[in-house]
Chains A and B, each alone.
Chain A
């Protein structure tokens, strides 16, 4: 009997010490896969700060759209880091993320990138601008915009660049038709596209600057060119309603815009959104940079763009895919 009491007290003590150790609680981070290394670094740096001391993290990484669907279906998440706004909007519609999620000084954007051209070493085909992609014999690799949300950045960069050069909407759409005649394969994701390009297929790969930098870091024999007119890629982070109730999650969210965290993103090839973190890194600022919300270029944000260009049945891209078959 006595023994039982002792063990019971022991269990209670253990339980108490366990809660003591995780006084910061645990935070569920659900993110898309590319910035995984950056988040790993940011989390261990955060845990060394006063605010993050004792906070534990459950991290989940996967394709952005899949992650959004998983959270919508009930996967616990305090913080979501996704590759494009519509994936966050999925969660807003489900009532899991508050409508005003983008209401901080950085509009909820944690890092930037731009659409670039990755070419073979020495740029043997002299590819510099969007016009060079549709020259005879040039093969362009870009992921299928229906399987890869990220490929939509590439398509809209091409369209927007034409508009930026003064072309009409009709001419810019015609450019997309022409461009996709030069696309011999459409891998399912940006990473698969990089793999296929590294295998030797194609003359130019349309991708994000951070992927191009990643390729260079991995020793793939390529270089990248940033076209004069290109699209600014903005990657959002949002606190969910459950995250808003956790001080640790809120502290971590804030920490993502600290110089340390922003430097971790920069080390992975992302453009930091805090000036101080960009020090010592050269990111070419193209004169014709535009965003997906540009009304002047007729883009008007992802909701409009997705409806017009990427509707799976009657979007412009669906029609382009049908046309290239014949």
Chain B
């Protein structure tokens, strides 16, 4: 990418560079504080309301735990499906030529532009009772997974695409000329190169799926213990005036998600290091 190369170019004056670095650090810290850290701190603050005992009690009520488990399992499944399907889509978009490719490429981002509540409504009309295909997954866990897949589609595709574009085909050709089969080339050459990008996409998809509300609220049917996900459960607590309970569940959900994201990040770093040796 030529533009980013221009941006990365160091200014000749080392003092200026240091000053610029400090400024960037200041902006980054200030920005992160205002946009991310303060709201998160406020959330934790409002969860502390009745003390640690009450926090733990609220966060681990049976219906809260059931919603939490469902949310995390579905988000993990969603991330896995995305890893496979997203990589395949990116591959087709980069390596294949077909008419209308530009349009397909643009369509990938559409789920982001569509208000999620509209997405939920559309999915319900298509794959609910009375849908045109006779497929009815509405108000089941499968239906919720479907909605999550819809809103997380772009993450892996967009993470893998640029890496695939930059990937030198000469390496693959060399491997093929040395007698590696198509599968071998993919497994030994392409996949290791793509893995960091896939993992970034997977982490984003997972995080988004954990927090998704709009697309899920209609199609899930919100049956406690069966199809109620955490975001909807938290919404219910808020509507019932139990703000502290809502915050408690949110904090627990965020803590687990943070753990998962850190895990994915660590795995990625480990793989990259492993690779370069």
Contacts and interface: CB of A to CB of B under 8 A. Distances in A.
A188 B232 contact: yes
Interface size class of B (residues with CB under 8 A): 20 to 34
B218 A192 contact: yes
A44 interface: no
Interface stretch (A141-149, A239-247, A248-256): A141-149
Contacts of B237: 146, 312
A149 B239 contact: yes
Contact of B217 (A65, A192, A326): A192
A312 B218 contact: no
B242 A312 contact: yes
Contact of B124 (A65, A144, A199, A324): A199
Contact of A201 (B58, B129, B224, B242): B129
Interface string A289-326: 00000000000000000000011110000100110111
Contacts of B66: 325
A187 B224 contact: no
B47 to A, nearest CB: 15
Given A146-B236, A196-B124, A199-B125, A187 B61 contact: no
Contacts of B129: 199-201
A188 B236 CA distance: 8
B222 A199 contact: no
A185 B239 CA distance: 18
A187 B221 CA distance: 5
A148 B128 CA distance: 22
B20 interface: no
A75 interface: no
A186 B222 contact: yes
A286 interface: no
Considering residues B121, B124, B218, B226, which has the most beta carbons from chain A within 10 angstroms of its beta carbon? B218
Given A65-B239, A146-B236, A147-B232, A321 B224 contact: yes
Nearest to B233: A146
A146 B67 CA distance: 15
Interface residues of A, number: 29
A188 B217 contact: yes
Contacts, number: 91
A322 B124 contact: no
A187 B239 contact: no
Nearest to B226: A325
Nearest to B246: A312
Contact of A185 (B58, B130, B139, B245): B139
A195 interface: yes
Contact of A188 (B222, B226, B245): B222
Given A186-B221, A196-B218, A201 B232 contact: no
B245 A200 contact: no
A20 interface: no
A322 B226 CA distance: 11
A288 interface: no
Contact of A184 (B124, B139, B236): B139
A35 to B, nearest CB: 20
A318 B125 CA distance: 30
A184 B64 CA distance: 20
Contacts of B245: 312-313
B240 interface: yes
A182 B14 CA distance: 73
Contacts of A312: 236-237, 240-242, 245
Nearest to A192: B218
Contacts of B240: 146, 310-312
B156 to A, nearest CB: 29
A196 B139 CA distance: 10
Interface string B202-233: 00000000000000011001111110000010
A185 B222 contact: yes
B62 interface: yes
B239 A195 contact: no
Contacts of A321: 63, 224-225
A89 B124 CA distance: 36
A311 B232 CA distance: 17
A263 B139 CA distance: 39
B124 A148 contact: no
Contacts of B221: 184-187, 196
B186 interface: no
8 contacts: A63-B239, A186-B222, A186-B224, A187-B218, A312-B236, A321-B225, A322-B63, A325-B226
Interface of B: 58, 61-63, 66, 121, 124-125, 128-130, 138-139, 217-218, 221-226, 232, 235-237, 239-242, 245
Q: Which 10 A-B pairs have CB atoms at the shortest separation, nearest pair first?
A: A325-B225, A185-B221, A200-B130, A146-B236, A200-B129, A147-B236, A321-B224, A312-B240, A312-B242, A186-B222
